[in-house]
Amino acid sequence: MPKLVVYNSMSLDGYFTDAKGDMSWAHKQDPEWQAFVAENARGGGQLLFGRITYDLMASFWPTPLAMQSNPTIAERMNNLRKYVFSTTMDQASWRNTTLFKGDLATEVRKLKQKPGPDIVIMGSGSLVAQLAEAGLIDEYQIVLNPLVVGSGRTLFEGVKRKLPMKLAKSRAFGNGNVVLFYEPVDQLLG
């Protein structure tokens, strides 16, 4: 059964987007970091998005610019199975995407019961908060960026209970990024 994994960048002051919703500060172009990102993208998987992140991803990855600037990641992003949760979308046109309009936790529980590769959430802070609150996330991969953005959105906005974590591993990069791999200590029965 697949694990549900969160992969998100975060500033030193705890924001995953700045006050304008921008995440471009998290994208670094140095060779060591790009090699890690490309290697991470080579693994199998499925992607889970909220509408805002889906719209951003779908507007970039299928483009010639994406294929030219980062062909390995573009190929993976375009070919992986994708799920988007939205109450406002009528259809999802990006290749291999299924649109869900039902209850988020219920649908994710069903996805986690089906055989298949892990499901990864990128961005999509409101989904992360709801699924964390429901005890459905199995691993958090947080990229801590050496930058203070001043204000923005936190990844766990709206979570009403404590979520104890244990550090499973970490990796530091020359650009100052540190990837922290956390696992929840106690899960609700999901």
Contact residues for 5 (Cβ-Cβ < 8 A; gap 6+): 118, 119, 120, 121, 137, 138, 139, 140, 141
Helices and strands per DSSP (H, E), number in the chain? 6, 10
User: In the CATH scheme, what is the homologous superfamily, with its name and number, of domain 4-184?
Assistant: Dihydrofolate Reductase, subunit A (3.40.430.10)
Total length of the chain: 190
Q: Where are the domains of the chain?
A: 4-184
Helix axes 31-42, 71-79, angle to 10 degrees: 30
pTM, two decimals, is 0.89
Look up residue 11 and give its amino acid: S
pLDDT tens per residue, range 51-108: 999 999 999 999 999 999 888 889 889 999 999 999 999 999 999 999 999 899 999 9
pLDDT tens per residue, range 156-190: 998 999 999 999 999 999 999 999 999 999 754 44
152 φ, ψ to 5°? 160, -150
